[in-house]
Structure 1
Amino acid sequence: MNTQRHPALYEVNARVLLRRLAREAGSHVTLNDIPDTWLANLAGCGFSWVYLMGVWETGEAGRRVSRSNEQWLAGYRCLLPDLVEEDICGSPFAVTGYRLHPELGEAEDLVRFRDRLHRHGILLMLDFVPNHTAPDHLWARDRPDYYVHGTEEERARRPQEFIRLDLPGGSTVLAHGRDPYSGGWPDTLQLDYGNPALQEAMGAELKRIARQCDGLRCDMAMLILPEVFRQTWGWEIEPFWPRAVREVHKEHPGFTFVAEVYWDLGWKLQQQGFDYTYDKRLYDRLRNGEARPVREHFWADTEYQRRSVRFLENHDEGRAAASFPPDRHRAAAVLAFLCPGLRFFHQGQFAGRRKKVPVHLCRWPEEPADRAIGEFYRRLFTCLRLPVFRDGDWRLLDCNPAWEGNPSHDGYIAFAWEHGGERCIITVNYAPDRGQCYVPFPWADLAGKAVRLNDLMGSARYDRDGGSLLSPGLYLDIPGWGCHVFEVAGE
């Protein structure tokens, strides 16, 4: 099975995919009906993982909220002018149980889908939502002590954060899930990690889910860190993640944990056992379009870099084709996906989709494919399939002034990769204007050799003396947002 050091992951919305297949087939479909050709195509692109988002059971309470919030409805109608109620299936993160949603098939279908992926050399990642459940989760009825409680006074003062439920034990006020900086999410109930019994129950859920997949993306994983929980709710809790991850690994040693995490807490969660953590800071710096903060980002510890999740879009962020102008989109993609870490791609990204669709919907609007973006990603995946980028050693390179008084070198970012005799150099002018610089190569054995540089993302071919590539380095003079991915061959 796939053990790449720098794997690639593809996120697909399970409900959207199956609804589209059902429309094409004219009948109900399940995970069993996802064509093998679709899986083979993902394997051919070099993907190591499929993140199948939104497979778990959700309930009527969540759908009712999604279908009645007027502000949300206005947004849905802007995306889908022909919106019908069936298009609104509720948030997949308002989970009623970690069982396959009946609309997606029987429980065995999920195991079969995982096994089919394995035959193509692909691993399966699913969701885990640690912070909250749906209001109609069985625990709300049977174990209300698992949740954060409130008072009628609090509900009156902050109605967006609390809800009164009629439970078997009587009328009870419970808190909606939230983070320290926002109001409550009305289709959720907040779990109380101050209760040791709740921590045990969630640990048991993790172990049960781990039997059905190869890894989990843990939604908003930082919310149950003790310091964040204290900031949100005002009381102390015992750490959850270190023990929970350790217990899963006892039964499933190779299981992979990915944390959706913000507020620069990724390193902390890596220390608590997560294999990979979202790198939102790199995404933000790439969007801002300034080279120096991006370059300085890559000064971080090498192991932290390897365990970072790099992305330009996902179901929470805006579409890359809408967030980045075309030239900057390509430059940002080269930097984000040809640096070390887990490369995270999103359904529709390669077609240049521009409309971000709420996860509450199970139908997306029709959009024309952007052929230029599609061709760019085709070339990028040709690179990502190479062993040097999947399993190689990476380093950040210096970008030196081309001549005194020319500051344009500050717009450049350059990497070197090496693996089993393969070598590559990535250079990006991450600035709006043409710039010049020298990039010294890191391989002393090039001295006295003729070196050929072959651009894997374009048509450029150069022959250079190896000694000059060591000092002063490769001379670059490229336009704003220009880039090269050079295969380095010494003769």
Structure 2
Amino acid sequence: MTALPTYPSLYQINTRVWLTELSRKLGKTATLDDIPDAELDDLAQLGFDWIWFLSVWQTGLAVQRVSRANPEWRREFQETLPDLREEDIGGSGFAIAGYTVHQNLGGAAALARLRERLKQRGLRLLLDFVPNHMAPDHPWVEQHLEYFVQGNDQDLVRAPQNYCRINTAQGSRVLAYGRDPYFAGWPDTLQLDYSNPATQEAMIGELVKIAAQCDGVRCDMAMLVLPDVFERTWGRRAPLFWPEATRRVRERVPGFCFMAEVYWDFEWTMQQQGFDYAYDKRLYDRLREGHARPVREHFHAGLDYQNKLARFLENHDEPRAAATFSPEVHEAAAVTTFLSPGLRFFHQGQFEGRKKRISPHLVRGPEEPVDQRLKQFYDRLLAVLRKPVVRIGAWQLLECVPA
């Protein structure tokens, strides 16, 4: 496969939603093998280097039950799909029961064939890695309870939003939900204990397995396992994880790519610990606020930092760009974002002007009309981004002076 340009482009696909649409068209349950070659040809011709297939890993019934029973989540699902059905709620793709390709998607063999088809078109495959937590029905809950943060009855009484009782082969145990330090726990997950070196070793093992099946990973909430953040959340010190994890994976798979979902100004930290790219949420927030000076000042940073930022206007976590920005501001924000240095990161539905965000718990999306004006704008923008000077040229910020 040819070397990546200085400034590559990535396209994120909601795998389960896409295959649900495909199943309807084909009149049968579609797997990764049913993704048409013509669709992959289109992605290559649009100029993408990376395709991120969201939520391909195995999830279980425990996660599905939590998603279907949670009234707050259900209200959000209903807003997205007024005709919501039970089967539309598949459970979060980030509550993973095992790093094996979901049986409904065709399993590991179907993913390997898809990866080969991508490779033939010069496309690289990016998949998810969720370092912070696992699903409550992951085999480790029975086999390795020591990998998880455990609590006691007092914790359950004091913070029921952060702990739950689980019945295991070793008896009843209080375990912590996965969470970040600023919010209540995610009740469809269990928190991994990064203060335990054995947990870290096991997670590096999972990463090595994943690296045999794709060309890179997007690491969910990557900063949560940083020693300072983990200690702030759980009151226990964790050894550094990422430098060793990224080094060990690249020993096996040279050139393997790591992209960090990261917030709270830890972007530079993640880059220093082995990440090729870190989310640039700061630029996105400044564009949403609509103030020119902070946006311009954002680009004063050195290129050693900027070249390793992932620039986006929407993704599965953020609201749709077409619902966030007025049409004129949307176009200006897109030009600013995607003609800056770094990885150009686009999301399925963005070019068509979709306005409804689809939760990662859902396996079906709403039908929405295409915004033809916005689509024509993105056609023009992508044509510019395919130009060699924009992909491999030298970027610099011009001085802004009064007329």
Please report the TM-score for the alignment, with normalisation by the length of structure 2: 0.99
How far is the alpha carbon of 1:81 from its aligned partner? Answer: 1.8
SS of residue matched to 1:95 = coil
* Distance across 1 between alignment mates of 2:29 and 2:72: 31
How many angstroms does 1:204 deviate by?
A: 0.6
Aligned AA (2:300): W
Partners of 1:153 and 1:196 in 2: CA distance: 26
Q: 1:199 aligns to what? A: 200
Partner amino acid for 1:56? W
Greater helix fraction, Structure 1 or Structure 2? 2
* Structure of greater relative contact order (alpha carbons < 8 Å, 6+ residues apart): 2
In the aligned structure 1, how far is the partner of 2:80 from the partner of 2:54? 21
- Counterpart-to-counterpart distance in 2, 1:68 and 1:400: 57
Query: How far 1:357 moved relative to its partner?
Result: 1.6
Match of 2:252 in 1: 251
1:21-60 to 2 correspondence within 5 Å? Answer: 21-60=22-61
Task: State which drifts further: 27-36 or 68-77.
Answer: 68-77
Q: Is the 8 A contact 2:128 2:217 kept in 1?
A: yes
Residue of structure 2 in register with 1:212 after alignment: 213
Aligned to 1:434: none
8 Å contact kept, 2:100–2:107: no
Counterparts of 2:75 and 2:232 in 1: how far apart (Å)? Answer: 33
C-alpha distance in structure 2 between counterparts of 1:204 and 1:401, whole Å:
56
Shift of 1:106: 2.4
- How far, CA to CA, are the matches of 2:339 and 2:42 in structure 1? 21
**Conserved in 1, the CA contact under 8 Å of 2:63 and 2:95?**
yes
Distance 2:171 2:145 in 1: 11
For residues 362 and 150 of structure 2, the distance between their equivalents in structure 1, rounded to whole angstroms, comes to 30
Q: Separation in 1 of the partners of 2:78 and 2:334?
A: 31
Task: Give the partner amino acid of 2:173.
Answer: T
Query: Aligned AA for 2:211?
Result: A
- The amino acid of 1:237's aligned partner reads A
Matched, 1:153 2:154: yes
Matched with 1:89 is 90
Equivalent residues in 2 for 1:90-489, closer than 5 Å: 90-402=91-403
1:33-77 Cα offsets, whole Å, 9 max, x none, are 100000000001000000000000001111011000111112212
Structure 2: runs of 5+ lacking an equivalent: none
Q: Note the C-alpha offset of 1:158.
A: 1.2
Where 2:395 maps in the other structure, the secondary structure is: strand
In structure 2, the partner of 1:440 is: none
CA distance in structure 2 between the aligned counterparts of 1:130 and 1:380, rounded to whole angstroms: 35
Aligned residue in 2 for 1:429: none
Aligned-residue identity in percent:
58
Query: 1:36, 1:356 → 2: CA distance?
Result: 27
Distance in 1, Cα, partners of 2:224 & 2:76: 27
| 1:467 alignment partner in structure 2 | none
Deviations 1:339-383 (A, max 9, x none): 110000000000000111211111111110000000000000000
Secondary structure at 2:397's aligned position in 1? strand
Letter in 1 for 2:85: V
Q: Distance in 1 between matches of 2:10 and 2:247?
A: 24
**After superposition, what is the alpha-carbon deviation per residue over 1:428-452, rounded to whole angstroms, capped at 9, x for unaligned?**
xxxxxxxxxxxxxxxxxxxxxxxxx
1:295: how far off? 0.4
What amino acid sits opposite 1:149 in the alignment? Q
- In the aligned structure 1, how far is the partner of 2:187 from the partner of 2:13? 25
Partners of 1:309 and 1:9 lie apart in 2 by 9
CA distance in 1, matches of 2:75, 2:214: 36
Distance 2:323 2:189 in 1: 30
Cα distance in 2 between the residues matched to 1:193 and 1:51: 27
Distance 1:138 1:9 in 2: 33
RMSD: 0.7
Report the Cα offset of residue 229 of structure 1: 0.3
Q: What's the CA shift string for 1:237-279, capped at 9, x where partnerless?
A: 1000000100001011110000000001010000000000000
Work out the number of aligned pairs and report it: 402
Cα distance in 2 between the residues matched to 1:150 and 1:106:
35
- The AA in structure 1 aligned to 2:184 is G
Distance 1:308 1:145 in 2: 35
Q: C-alpha displacement at 1:78, in angstroms?
A: 2.0
Partner SS for 1:231: helix
Letter in structure 2 aligned against 1:240: F
Could you say which structure has the larger radius of gyration?
1
Q: CA deviation at 1:156?
A: 1.3
CA–CA distance in structure 1, aligned partners of residues 125 and 118 of structure 2: 7
Q: Deviations over 1:152-194 (max 9, x none)?
A: 1110121111010111111100000000100100000000011
SS of equivalent residue, structure 2 residue 346: strand
1:376-427, Cα deviation, whole Å (9 max, x unpaired): 000000000000111111000012111xxxxxxxxxxxxxxxxxxxxxxxxx
CA deviations 1:442-471 (Å, max 9, x no partner) are xxxxxxxxxxxxxxxxxxxxxxxxxxxxxx
Kindly state the Cα deviation for residue 235 of structure 1 after the two structures are TM-superposed.
1.1
Residue type of the alignment partner of 2:197? P
Question: Aligned equivalents of 1:55 and 1:46: distance in 2?
Answer: 24
Give the match's secondary structure for 2:258.
Answer: strand
Partner of 1:482: none
